[in-house]
């Protein structure tokens, strides 16, 4: 994740973002937000992060 993106998150979410870890899951913007392929990709890439 780029510094600029982290700064945007910190600005947008303020105290909620402070002390949190931001993780880039490296998903390209080629899917619609409800496409089954996107859901499967998110489950594969984000699922392990949510388990920890």
0.75 surpassed by pTM: no
Give the total number of structural domains in the chain. Answer: 1
Report the C-alpha gap between 45 and 48 in whole angstroms.
7
Q: Are 9 and 16 in contact (CB under 8 A)?
A: no
Q: Are 22 and 46 in contact (CB under 8 A)?
A: no
Q: Over 80: is that where the pLDDT of 48 sits?
A: yes
Q: Over 70: is that where the pLDDT of 52 sits?
A: no
Instruction: Tell me which of 11 and 51 has the higher pLDDT.
Output: 11
pLDDT one-digit tens code per residue, 5-42? 888 999 999 999 888 888 887 777 776 777 788 888 88
φ, ψ of residue 34 in degrees (nearest 5): -120, 15
Q: What is the predicted pLDDT for the residue at 30?
A: 74
Q: Which domain holds residue 15?
A: 3-51
């Amino acid at each position: 994740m780029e510094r600029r993106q982290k700064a945007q998150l910190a600005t947008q979410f303020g105290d909620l973002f402070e002390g949190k870890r931001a993780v880039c899951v490296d998903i390209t913007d080629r899917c619609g937000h409800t496409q089954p392929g996107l859901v499967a990709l998110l489950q594969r890439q984000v699922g392990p992060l949510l388990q920890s």
